[in-house]
Amino acid sequence: MSKKLAVHICCGPCAVYPIDEWAKEGYDVTGFWYNPNIHPYIEYSKRLESLKRFAGLKELGIAYDESYDLDCFLKKVASSPSEPERCYHCYQMRLSRTAEFAREEGYDLFTTTLSVSPFQKHDLLKEIGNKVADQNGIRFLYQDFRSGYREGRLQAREMGLYLQKYCGCIYSERDRFITIKTKVSLGEHG
């Protein structure tokens, strides 16, 4: 009998590669959407619609927690808006909610598609995932899928999924803008 895996999904493109891999490994996969960190709201909506498109193409079951708890997220990260402090709060908030969902719905374990991104803090992700797992009495599955990031992005583009340009929070958008501005002022265009 396959194990039931609840997968926190940050966006459609990041789900492409890991979802296929977990299915190949025999997991009974259900996605879980909870991302109050994504700003502005129009970006949140684009990513949500992209995930719905992906789920339809893959016939993937998704549970949606669309409680866009912006105030709670901002309160958690406002006192520590620099990396990795803000990422700690962001991961903790989303993985805690996923673990609660998984426990309440009778899943065997939970995980996240954040594990495909080379831009995430994988050691911190594992640390928080394991801590949240202990607190909720459910196992956290961490797998490093960074090697499939590029392949997943190519497939996402072929599927017509929205490809975002930053992690999600207002701070990561600011940091992206500053990086681009710095490259332009230094004469770098790539």
Q: Using one digit for the tens of pLDDT, what is the confidence trace for 131-157?
A: 999 999 999 999 999 999 999 999 999
Report, in this order, helix, strand and coil percent for the chain, each rounded to 5.
Answer: 55, 10, 30
Could you give the domains of the chain?
4-163 (3.40.50.620)
Q: How far apart are CA 132 and CA 101, in angstroms?
A: 12
pLDDT reading at 73 higher than 70: yes
Q: What is the pTM of this model?
A: 0.90
Per-residue model confidence as pLDDT tens digits over 20-71: 999 999 999 999 999 999 999 999 999 999 999 999 999 999 999 998 888 8
What percent of the chain clears pLDDT 70, i.e. is strictly above it?
A: 91
Any idea which residue has 């501005």 for tokens?
A: 181
pLDDT reading at 180 higher than 60: no
Q: 184 or 18, which is more confident?
A: 18
For 58-82, b where at least 16 C-beta lie within 10 A, e where not — what string?
A: bebebeebeebebeebeebbeeeee
